[in-house]
Structure 1
Amino acid sequence: MSVSDIIRYVETHDRGLYRIFAQQGSEPSPAEISAFESEIGFALPDEFRELAIHPLGGLYISASEEVWPEPEPYSVGPMWSFLRGLLVYSLSSAAPDWLHMRSAWQEMKNAGAGDLVPFLKILGDADPYCFTPEGKIVIWRHEDPENPEAVDMSFSEAVMHEIRALEERTQRKIRGEDQQAPEGLTS
Structure 2
Amino acid sequence: MTDRTLEILREHLDGDFRVVPLAQTPVSREQIAAIGARVGVTYPVELADHVCGRFPGMYVEVKESVWPRPKPYDVGPFWSFLYALHTYTSAPESEPWMRLDHAAERFRAKTGLDAAPVLRIEGDANVYCIDARGALCRFHHELNRLEPVEGDYWSLLDRELRELRERKDRKKRAP
Bigger shift: 45-54 or 111-120?
A: 111-120
Cα offset, 1:29, TM superposition: 2.2
Q: Which residue of 1 aligns with 2:128?
A: 129
With structure 1 as the length reference, what TM-score do the two structures score? 0.85
CA deviation string 1:132-177 (max 9, x = no partner)? 11121111011001x311111100100110000000100110011x
Equivalences for residues 138-177 of structure 1 within 5 A: 138-145=137-144, 147-176=145-174
> Normalising by the residue count of structure 2, what TM-score does the alignment of the two structures yield?
0.91
The alignment covers a number of residue pairs equal to 173
| Larger strand percent | 2
| Structure 1 residue 34: Cα displacement | 2.4
User: Once the 2 structures are TM-superposed, how far is the Cα of residue 3 of structure 1 from its aligned partner?
Assistant: 4.0
* Post-superposition CA distance 1:80-99 (Å, at most 9, x none): 00000100111111221121
- Could you list the structure 1 runs, at least 4 aligned residues long, displaced by more than 6 angstroms after superposition: none
Q: Once structures 1 and 2 are overlaid, which stretch shifts more, 96-105 or 60-69? A: 96-105
My pick for the range that moved more, 87-96 or 25-34, is 25-34
C-alpha distance 40-106 of structure 1, shift in aligned 2 (>3 A): closer
AA in 2 matched with 1:26: T
Moved more, 133-142 or 164-173: 133-142
In structure 1, C-alpha distance between the alignment counterparts of 2:123 and 2:63, rounded to whole Å: 15
In 1: Cα distance, 2:101 partner to 2:89 partner: 8
Superposition deviation, residue 110 in structure 1 = 1.6
Deviates more, 1:21-30 or 1:80-89: 21-30
Question: Does the residue aligned with 1:148 lie in a helix, a strand or coil?
Answer: strand
- Percent sequence identity over matched residues? 29
Aligned twin of 1:60: 59
What does residue 116 of structure 2 align with?
Answer: 117
Q: Give the RMSD, CA atoms, in angstroms.
A: 1.7
Q: Which has the larger radius of gyration?
A: 1
Provide the C-alpha distance between the structure 2 equivalents of 1:23 and 1:86, rounded to a whole number of angstroms. Answer: 12
Partners in 1 of 2:90 and 2:23 — Cα distance?
Answer: 12
